[in-house]
Amino acid sequence: MPTRLSPFVLDTPYDLQMVWCMRAFKRFFFTILTLGIVGTLAVIGTVWALNNFSSVGPLTERCSVDIADLGKQSLAADQTDNAALISAIALHRGLPARAATIGIATAMQESKMRNIDYGDRDSLGMFQQRPSQGWGTEEQVQDPRYATEAFYDVLARIEGYDDMAVTVAARAVQRSAFPDAYAQHEDVARAFASALTGHAPAALNCRLHPVEDPEEADIAGFAARLNADFPGIELATSTTEVSVSHASLEAGAQAFGIDSHRMQWALANWVVAVADTYGIESVTAADQIWTRTEPWTASDEEGATNAPSVVVRFAEAS
C-alpha cells in the first residue's frame, strides 16, 4: 500500500522559511503577552503598596513608642488598647510605673496581650490565669479588667517587686515553668508603660486608617471606658467631642497622687491607645495634637496653650 504524504511535508526552502517565520512570530507574540501580564501585575502591586504601605511599613493599625534609651517599640492596635487598660489600672491603684511594665510584659508572654479563650490546661484570658488555682471563675479571668486587678492584687503582695528584674517579678506572680521568658518583652513593656503612665509626654503614636463612617464613632462607649480607667475624672461631652478641663485634670491628679502634667499625658497617650477601638479622629493635649495619620505635633489651633487639658474629637455625622 503506498505511503500517503502529509500535507505538511516541507520540500522547498520557501516552506522551511515560512515555518521558521511562524515560529518566530509565535515566540514574539507570547513574549509580548507575558511581558504585558507581568507589567499589569506590577502596576496592580504598586497601586496596592501605595495604598497600604507608609514609608516605614504596612499601614496596618500599628502603634509605637519611641524613647531614647529603648528605641522604637511597636504593638498592634488591639494590643495597645490592652496595654492602656493595664497601665491605667496601675495608675489609679497608686502603683509605680514599674508595675505597669511588669503587667504588660506578663500579658505579652502569656497571650501576646490578647484576651484569648484557650491555654495550657485551664488557663484563660490575657494573663492565662487558671480558675482551678483560685484566680476566679472562667468568666472572670476572661474579663480583662478583672484579670488585671487580680494580677496586681498578687503583685502588690510581693515585697520589693519594684526593685526586682521584670522577669523575676512576673515569675513570682505567675509561677511559670519558664521563668526567664518574660525578659524578652521588657523593652516594649517599659516603653508603653512609660507613655501610658504619663512619664513620656506625646510619646505614643498610632497610625490608623481613616474613619470612613461616622457611625464607627462610639462617644458613649469611650466616655464609659474613660470613667472606668480614670475614675474621678469629669468629662464634658457633645455630639463630636469629649473634653477634660484643666480643673478636672488637677482634681484627677490629686486623687491619683501625681502632678497635673503627668496626669495630662497619661490621659492623652491613653486616648491615642484606644483611638482605634472608639473611632477617635484626633486628640489635643495643651499645645500638641495627634491625628490618625499624623503623630503628635505642635497645634496651630487658635487658643492652643500649654495649660493642661485634653480634647478628643470624633467624626461628625453628615
Residue that is last in its domain, among 165, 197, 229: 197
Same domain, 44 and 88: no
Residue at 56 is within a domain? no
Same domain, 214 and 173: no
pLDDT value for 6: 47
- Is 121 within the bounds of a domain? yes
What single DSSP character describes residue 116? -
Residue 139 lies in a domain: yes
Same domain, 156 and 240: no
137 shares its domain with 239: no
Q: 253 and 315: one domain?
A: yes
Of 73, 89, 146, 83, nearest to 113 by C-alpha is 83
Whether residues 223 and 252 share a domain: the answer is yes
**Which residue from 162, 42, 35 is spatially nearest to 95, judged by alpha carbons?**
162
Establish if 282 belongs to a structural domain. yes
Would 55 be classed as within a structural domain? no
Domain annotation covers residue 106? yes
212 and 316 together in one domain: yes
What pLDDT is recorded for position 9?
Answer: 46
- 162 and 103 part of one domain: yes
- Residue 298 is predicted with a pLDDT of 94
Domain with 151, as residue range(s), is 68-197
Residue 84 lies inside a defined structural domain of this protein: yes
**Residue 63 belongs to a domain:** no
- pLDDT for 49: 44
Sheet (strand 297-298) strand order: 236-237, 241-244, 310-314, 280-285, 288-291, 297-298
The residue out of 197, 222, 257 marking a domain boundary is 197
> What pLDDT is attached to residue 179?
79
Output the CA–CA distances (angstroms, integers) from residue 36 to 26, 39, 40, 48, 212, in the order listed. 15, 5, 6, 18, 35
Q: What does the block give as the cell for 198?
A: 504619663
Q: Tell me, yes or no, whether 208 and 278 share the same domain.
A: yes
pLDDT tens for residues 229-246? 999 999 999 999 999 999
3-class DSSP assignment, residue 128? coil
pLDDT number for residue 52: 45
Other C-beta atoms lying within 10 Å of the C-beta of residue 234: 12
Task: Write out pLDDT tens, residues 94-151.
Answer: 999 999 999 999 999 999 999 999 999 999 999 999 999 999 999 999 999 999 999 9
Q: Are residues 86 and 43 in the same domain?
A: no
Mean pLDDT by 10 residues, the chain (318 residues): 47 52 60 59 47 48 94 97 98 97 98 97 97 98 98 98 96 89 97 98 97 92 98 95 96 96 97 97 96 94 70 84
Residues 209 and 153 in one domain: no
- Gap between the Cα atoms of 181 and 167, Å rounded: 7
Residue where one domain finishes, among candidates 197, 222, 240: 197
Residues 42, 150 within the same domain: no
Task: Say how far apart CA 258 and CA 88 lie, in whole Å.
Answer: 13
Split into its structural domains, the chain has a count of 3
